[in-house]
């Protein structure tokens, strides 16, 4: 199962990504719990045994939205959105990916870019389920689906 934590400078984008990821995993048939914790981090737990205790120390995928990475453990996948560098991750044994910020300030577009990249990186997520989740949680605007596709295409692995 896959567990996520989402952190970022945009609380609305964090909430949108958290709830859309939870819905997409639910549509995939997994038991899911998604919430925003007291520190403003989004948490999506799809494993029954960790559904009450997911944080950065045991998440499989960490997503940082325009925020430098912190509290990263070895062996996880790190997705950075924005113009952040992964300098602090070079000594870690993590798989690091970047979605470069295209200069947009629209939080819904940011959320869809991140969701597109996440869909490409996580096998349990299908494009169909993620599109349904975006439609339900964020909206039906064509520009949002274009941003989702763009995020799916532009994510690149950092070395």
Residue-level pLDDT at 78: 86
Q: How far is CA 125 from CA 9, 10, 22, 48, 154, in A?
A: 25, 24, 10, 18, 17
Helices 11-27 & 107-121 angle (0-180, nearest 10): 40
- pLDDT one digit per residue (tens) for the chain, 159 residues: 678 889 888 889 999 999 999 999 999 888 899 999 888 889 898 865 444 444 555 578 888 887 777 778 788 888 888 766 666 677 778 888 888 867 766 889 989 999 999 999 888 889 999 999 999 999 999 999 999 999 999 888 886
* pLDDT for the residue 107: 87
Full strand arrangement of the beta sheet holding 95-99: 33-36, 42-45, 3-8, 61-65, 77-81, 95-99, 156-157
Q: 3-157 adopts what CATH topology?
A: Pyruvate-ferredoxin Oxidoreductase; domain 3 (3.40.920)
Q: Which pLDDT score, from 0 to 100, does residue 84 have?
A: 62
CB 97 within 8 A of CB 158: yes
Question: What pLDDT, on the 0 to 100 scale, is given for residue 15?
Answer: 94
pLDDT tens-digit readout, 91-111: 778 888 888 867 766 889 989
Give the C-alpha separation, 130 to 113, whole Å: 12
Q: At what angle do helices 11-27 and 127-137 cross, to 10 degrees?
A: 130
Helix (H, G, I), strand (E, B) or coil at 12: helix
**Which residues lie closer than 8 Å to 55 by C-beta, 6 or more apart?**
5, 37, 41, 43, 71
Enumerate the domain spans of the chain. 3-157
Q: Which residues pair with 43 in a beta bridge?
A: 5, 35
How many CA within 13 A on the CB side of residue 1? 21
């Amino acid at each position: 199962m896959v567990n996520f934590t989402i952190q970022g400078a945009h609380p609305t984008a964090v909430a949108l990504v958290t709830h859309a990821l939870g819905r997409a995993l639910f549509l995939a048939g997994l038991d899911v719990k998604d919430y925003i914790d007291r520190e403003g981090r989004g948490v999506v737990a799809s494993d029954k045994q960790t559904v009450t205790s997911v944080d950065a120390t045991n998440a499989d995928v960490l997503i940082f939205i325009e925020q430098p990475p912190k509290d990263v453990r070895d062996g996880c996948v790190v997705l950075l959105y924005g113009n952040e560098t992964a300098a602090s991750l070079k000594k870690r044994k993590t798989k690091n990916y970047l979605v470069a910020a295209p200069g947009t300030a629209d939080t819904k577009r940011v959320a869809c870019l991140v969701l597109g990249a996440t869909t490409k990186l996580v096998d349990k997520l299908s494009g169909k389920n993620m599109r349904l989740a975006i439609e339900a949680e964020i909206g039906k605007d064509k520009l949002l689906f274009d941003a989702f596709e763009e995020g799916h295409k532009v994510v690149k692995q950092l070395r």
